[in-house]
Structure 1
Amino acid sequence: MSTPSPATYYYVRPTDSLFVRGNLAFGDAGEHGSSQMPPPPSLFAGAFRSALLGQDAEHLSSFLNQGRCSDAALARCLGSAEAPGEFRISWLSLAGASSAGTEPEPISPLPADLLLLGKTFATLAPRAVQAGVQSAGDLPLRATLVSAKQEKPSGGMYLHAKGLAQHLSGQHPEQRHGIASSQLFVRDPRLGIGLNTDAHTAEEGQIYTTEGFAFSPRDDAAPATFASTGFLVGLQGVSDLMPQQGVLRLGGDGRSAHYRRVAFNPNLNGLAAAVGIHSEGAAPTKGENTLARFRLILQTPALFSQGWLPEGITRQDDGSYRLQGDGFTARLACAALGRREVVSGWDLYQWMPKPAQAAVPAGSVYWFDEFAGDAGKLTAWVNAGLWPHNPNQLQQSRRAEGYNCALLGAWN
């Protein structure tokens, strides 16, 4: 796989309620169309690629008729309908800006190994299964809650950038680095009525509701953390093809969203301080590579050919699971996974549904130990996405859409 090109970052701020359809059946009278938040990365891949093509009617026409742009720069970026070009979503998170024109701060959901109990954060740590305790799974360790008391965790919590950086480096995030979802978005249900397209009248009994999300919420009872909220999106292969700012069609009904280019450095790699690895994957100098074990935290949903197992992991004769990469190896010791998601979508070019695939949800955590090899190559593999060395056509398409993005974290 070629070396990824530098990414450019955009702050995307919905100007109206955003509708992001899930994969539950919807369409009968009286049904409720549920949405998902955060949205899948493919939502933004489609919006930005459409914006690139829509800047010039000739470019759009050539892609529709020939499956490829006549413009060389756009063709290199977008590729063809069968083989994506250099375009790739390399970063996706919620974001908030403190005031107009300021640089946004990335906001992330809590990883699966982090919980907010009362006013303090607690972690899940790999522990051996006690003798006499039965547990499903083949991994040697189980993710176990480390807490002095039993308490129900708070839901709907997100992490400020500093809190995520602390967590990746193996530290306990401070409570002030957590933020409730109500400070970022609020649910906005809408009532709809089915229409008869021939008679231009309402269909009898065809009343339904759809769930949207309103951003930049205002609460008179509590001061707002951000002046505006939205998303931070990193794009590879775009360079200067996108204007500095503009408007996107985003989500269901093509609701508008404003975007502007921002300066952002995703230097959140929790291993940087521990082993001297830089975010671009440069190898540490001699004597710096003291890496023995690490965590892998999914930033976007992941599509693995082996279900929940990341690419490159195989079961050995002794029953262990080992990651075999280009220049490095490690043992998978533990995993904390969320509920499986379903990823599908609609192919506008071929006008047909995309294959439905089971995905490991964002925030899932894998613990690895017994690391051996080049830590810089490990980082480069993670930064390029957790894909096989020679991805097939569907994997190339999903890679461009931003799936399988992950972050490295220290395992202290």
Structure 2
Amino acid sequence: MTDYCFIEPLDVLYLRGNKLFGDAGSYGEALMPPWPSLAAGALRSRMLADHGIDLAAFAQARERLPGLSDALHACLGTPQKPGKFRVSLFTVACREKEQIQPCFPLPADVVVTARTLDDATYLQPTAPHPTLSSSSYALPQPPLLRAAGPAKPQSNVWLNAAGLGAYLNGEKLGKEHLLRGGELWQFDHRLGIALNGAQRTVARGMLYTAQTVALNRRDGGGKGRDVGFLVGVDGVNGLLPKDGLLRFGGDGRGATLQAVSSKNLLLPAPDWRRIEQERRFRLVLATPGLFADGWQLPGLDADNLWKGPDHCTARLVAAAVNRADTVSGWDLAQRQPKSAQRVAPVGSVYWFDDFQGKAEALRKLASEGFWAMSDYPDLSRRVEGFNNLLSRRVEGFNNLFVAAWPKR
């Protein structure tokens, strides 16, 4: 069972990425949308504090702490052996009265070039002419854009809840389905001065500029939208806080927390029956993908045959994957940076045909993420230094949407 909550900042947020930052004159860029690990850390810390658990002691604990209830231990575990807690959904969302509507970055298989956002076009996997068979593209059908002429794609475009529903079913996208990032948040630049921690004084010559994120709010006349983050968490069994405050992002900025019931949540789904009948579908990364073989999904063999959960199979024919990102973070328990790992970015799309199996297997994949079939990194990778397996699962990486790939 998944518990949902809506997190709404009370101030600007410091959403830092993994770029070096700290020299005099540094410029700190914000990461938007942030990694799902932001929500995982904030919620777990709040849960521990609510139950009177010393956070420093928990960070250093290798075994169960005295006073930790059976239910909370099963949920959170220890830093070395996390429990059942897992962020299964993390995305920007809008609150419209009592309804929470998720928004999602425009997937890699949709291109919008018009400033009016009214010409959204799907990339179409297409088998190349035999004379182009020596193409360097690694899969049988490169995804192609069919357009009347050259144009530059619009950037920072998002799907609203209705747009996500249309996208998951392969329907035409109109301007009513799309938002610009500026309708959800604004960047705000702040000047800072570094401090000497030992002397508790200002460090000379250490001015810096940081980019912060100000999520949009309704104005006094009720115009606009209240923007926050929608978080879905598995394995908490009712332990997720229902309301109150969180420390959220860099510098521990405040945010409010509100539980969300399923009746107030607009979460669209694909037409599972159509996917099963047409025997083809798309997989779309909803959070960064941490895979053993770079952009390639778990379960693929050398012939691009994919073996999914519950013995289902399909053949990968195309993929649209943007440039790889790098994730890291700060390990509070070890007081050191987490290992930097390359990931496939959010919105990457993989097309499959010749699906053999039941839609229920794909439902399981959508619910559990790629952890349903692969605990990457495996034991050999841990020896090589990839040791963030369990924590990355808890933090919400490797989540996905299943989308229809309609036959035209």
Task: Assess same fold via TM > 0.5.
Answer: yes
Which structure is higher in strand share?
A: 1
State the partner residue of 1:140: 140
State the partner residue of 2:216: 216
- Using the TM superposition, give the Cα deviation of residue 195 of structure 1 relative to its aligned residue in structure 2, in angstroms: 2.5
- Using the TM superposition, give the Cα deviation of residue 240 of structure 1 relative to its aligned residue in structure 2, in angstroms: 2.0
CA distance in 1, matches of 2:185, 2:124: 31
Give 3-state SS (helix, strand or coil) of 2:92's partner.
strand
State the partner residue of 1:350: 334
Q: How many residues align?
A: 386
**Normalising by the residue count of structure 1, what TM-score does the alignment of the two structures yield?**
0.88
Query: Stretches of 4+ moved more than 6 A in 1?
Result: none
CA distance in 1, matches of 2:55, 2:198: 31
Give 3-state SS (helix, strand or coil) of 1:44's partner.
helix
Give 3-state SS (helix, strand or coil) of 1:242's partner.
coil
State the partner residue of 1:19: 14
Cα pair distance change 1:397/1:174, threshold 3 Å: same
Query: Which deviates more, 88-97 or 51-60?
Result: 51-60
State the partner residue of 2:229: 231
CA distance in 1, matches of 2:317, 2:108: 16
- Which residue identity does 1:72 align to in structure 2? D
State the partner residue of 1:247: 245
Select 1:323's aligned residue among 300, 306, 309: 306
Give 3-state SS (helix, strand or coil) of 2:307's partner.
strand
Cα pair distance change 1:65/1:219, threshold 3 Å: closer
Select 1:308's aligned residue among 286, 292, 295: 295
Confirm or deny: 8 A CA contact 1:183 1:217 kept in the other structure: no
State the partner residue of 1:281: none
Q: Report 1:92-111 matches (<5 A).
A: 92-99=90-97, 102-111=98-107
- Using the TM superposition, give the Cα deviation of residue 115 of structure 1 relative to its aligned residue in structure 2, in angstroms: 1.8
State the partner residue of 1:49: 44
**Normalising by the residue count of structure 2, what TM-score does the alignment of the two structures yield?**
0.89
Q: Does 1:263 find its partner at 2:270?
A: no
- Which residue identity does 1:141 align to in structure 2? Q
- Using the TM superposition, give the Cα deviation of residue 193 of structure 1 relative to its aligned residue in structure 2, in angstroms: 1.5
Q: Report 1:37-76 matches (<5 A).
A: 37-58=32-53, 60=55, 63-64=58-59, 66-67=61-62, 68-69=64-65, 70-76=68-74
CA deviation profile, 1:225-280 (whole Å, cap 9, x unmatched): 41x111100011122213311111111000011010012356433233524xxxxx
State the partner residue of 2:163: 163
Confirm or deny: 8 A CA contact 1:88 1:402 kept in the other structure: yes
Cα pair distance change 1:322/1:94, threshold 3 Å: same
Cα pair distance change 1:272/1:370, threshold 3 Å: closer
State the partner residue of 2:180: 180
CA distance in 2, matches of 1:137, 1:269: 31
- Using the TM superposition, give the Cα deviation of residue 203 of structure 1 relative to its aligned residue in structure 2, in angstroms: 2.8
State the partner residue of 2:383: none
In percent, how many aligned pairs have the same letter?
39
Confirm or deny: 8 A CA contact 1:41 1:89 kept in the other structure: yes
Q: Does 1:332 find its partner at 2:316?
A: yes
CA distance in 1, matches of 2:337, 2:324: 20
- Which residue identity does 1:116 align to in structure 2? V
- Which residue identity does 1:337 align to in structure 2? V
Confirm or deny: 8 A CA contact 1:182 1:217 kept in the other structure: no
Give 3-state SS (helix, strand or coil) of 1:104's partner.
strand
Report the aligned-residue RMSD: 2.2
Give 3-state SS (helix, strand or coil) of 2:126's partner.
strand
State the partner residue of 1:123: 122
Give 3-state SS (helix, strand or coil) of 1:117's partner.
coil
CA distance in 1, matches of 2:57, 2:82: 16
- Using the TM superposition, give the Cα deviation of residue 174 of structure 1 relative to its aligned residue in structure 2, in angstroms: 1.8
The answer for unaligned runs of 5 or more in structure 1 is: 1-5, 276-288
CA distance in 2, matches of 1:65, 1:187: 36
Give 3-state SS (helix, strand or coil) of 2:370's partner.
coil
Confirm or deny: 8 A CA contact 1:189 1:209 kept in the other structure: yes
State the partner residue of 1:282: none
CA distance in 2, matches of 1:331, 1:129: 17
- Using the TM superposition, give the Cα deviation of residue 354 of structure 1 relative to its aligned residue in structure 2, in angstroms: 1.6
